[in-house]
Amino acid sequence: MVHNATAVTATVEKKRAPFPVEFYRSAVGKKWIMALTGLGIIGFALAHMIGNLKMFLPPVDGEPDIDVYGHALRELLTPILPEHVFLWILRTGLIVMFLLHVHAAYSLTLMNHRARQTDYEGPRHYVAADYASRTMRWSGTIFLAYLLFHLADFTWGIQPMAPETWERGHVYANFIATFSRWPVTVLYVVASLLLGVHLYHGAWSMFQSLGINNPKFNTWRRYLATGTAGVISLGFIAPPLAVAFGVLT
């Protein structure tokens, strides 16, 4: 019997996946992945927001500043790499990061559902945690759905979502045409506010997921979460509203 038990143990050990895979399978690993990918998504959101704010800058040699910016993105690391290649490397990394973030969130949700069968928390803590979890799931899901529409409308120019005047590479003109439609502007504002809610909860819980959780730091954590969510949301909302109200034409 001892020999059989030893053989079974050895077989299980041989079948163990590499450490990164085993770590990701755990709840702690998924929380780390959510935190790190969330940090990357916040960085992308800030960069994208700054790019959008170029709508307010004056033209460069007669060309809209945001068009110059878009052209520069397409030429990143040229002539070392062909045009568009490095941009697609960045896009691929961003897609992988999004997929990991969504998968980790979905897996943790399943784990939480299983854990609910065990009454190990007080009612008040459970209600608060459940509210935050549901808010994160819904805000993230709705924003992801809008993101796909926004890409089809603004980046890919898929009809009938995009305006008839859409033209590849003309970022400023496409921006004006897209947000001259009030329904699209309203959708964008709502999605940006939902993104702010999602980023607030994400920035607040990120430090806890990484093990940086101390009552002494909770005040600045809340300021950081509020400031990050507020700046990004307002930064995204400002250019479309400027178009809708005729400030940008």
The predicted-structure confidence for 104-126, as pLDDT tens digits, reads as follows: 888 887 887 777 655 544 444 44
Is the CB of residue 141 less than 8 Å from the CB of residue 179? Answer: no
Q: What is the pLDDT of residues 121-153, one digit of tens each?
A: 444 444 334 444 555 667 677 777 878 888 888
User: What is 115-177 written as a DSSP string?
Assistant: HTTS--S-HHHHHHHHHHHHHHHHHHHHHHHHHHHHIIIIIS--TTTS-TT--TT-HHHHHHH
pTM over 0.85: no
Reported as a single tens digit per residue, the pLDDT across 209-224 is 777 777 777 788 888 8
Q: Which residue has the higher pLDDT, 236 or 116?
A: 236
Q: How many CA atoms lie within 13 Å of 3's alpha carbon, on the beta-carbon side?
A: 0
Confidence band for 93, pLDDT divided at 50, 70 and 90: very high
Number of C-beta neighbours around residue 75 at 10 A = 15
